[in-house]
Amino acid sequence: MKRTWTIIGVKDVRSSFRWYQTLFGQPETAPAHDYFGQICDSDGTVLLCLHQWGAHEHPPLMSPDHGKPGNGLLLFFRVDDFDMALSRARSLVPVLAEEPHRNPSTGTMEFALRDPDGYYVMISALS
């Protein structure tokens, strides 16, 4: 088995951590560190890692000023509670980036929103 650990640069790990936990309907917990946190599924699978900009001098995570956050990146999540995820998403942002629609390629319902750091987040029904 192989898994990816997608890591994105964020301004405020704690705030982004809460934002993603709310989106995914997870109980609120604190990240392991002020500079790094892992959003995990109930089975322990890492869904997304949040890394504070500039911590530990990783070259691509030094500053959002060196590029536009999210350019060339689409965070795509399949969820088993699509309608509830949509409701949670609407509580997090004033406007969705894409309203719910059926993807003609996959036949599944999906919507998109921007996270607090500007990343484009696509939510797709796991059906």
pLDDT exceeds 70 at position 112: yes
Residue type, 85: A
Distance CA 43, CA 84 (A): 20
The token pair at 82 is: 């699509």
pLDDT recorded at residue 74? 86
Distance CA 100, CA 45 (A): 26
pLDDT exceeds 70 at position 1: no
pLDDT recorded at residue 61? 76
Give the angle subtended at the CA of 73 by the CAs of 69 and 76, to the nearest 5°: 120
Q: What is the pLDDT of residues 8-65, one digit of tens each?
A: 999 999 999 999 999 999 999 999 999 999 999 999 999 999 999 888 777 777 777 7
Average pLDDT score over the chain: 91
Q: Could you give all domains of the chain from N- to C-terminal order, each with its CATH number?
A: 7-125 (3.10.180.10)
pLDDT recorded at residue 117? 92
pLDDT exceeds 70 at position 69: no
Average pLDDT over residues 109-125: 95
pLDDT exceeds 80 at position 68: no
| Longest Cα–Cα distance in the chain | 42
pTM: 0.87
Cα–Cα nearest to 75, from 2, 1, 4: 4
pLDDT recorded at residue 25? 96
Determine how many CB atoms are found less than 10 A away from the CB of residue 61.
18
Average pLDDT over residues 91-112: 96
Determine how many CB atoms are found less than 10 A away from the CB of residue 96.
16
* Cα pseudo-dihedral 27, 31, 37, 43, rounded to 10: -40
The position carrying tokens 């070259």 is 59
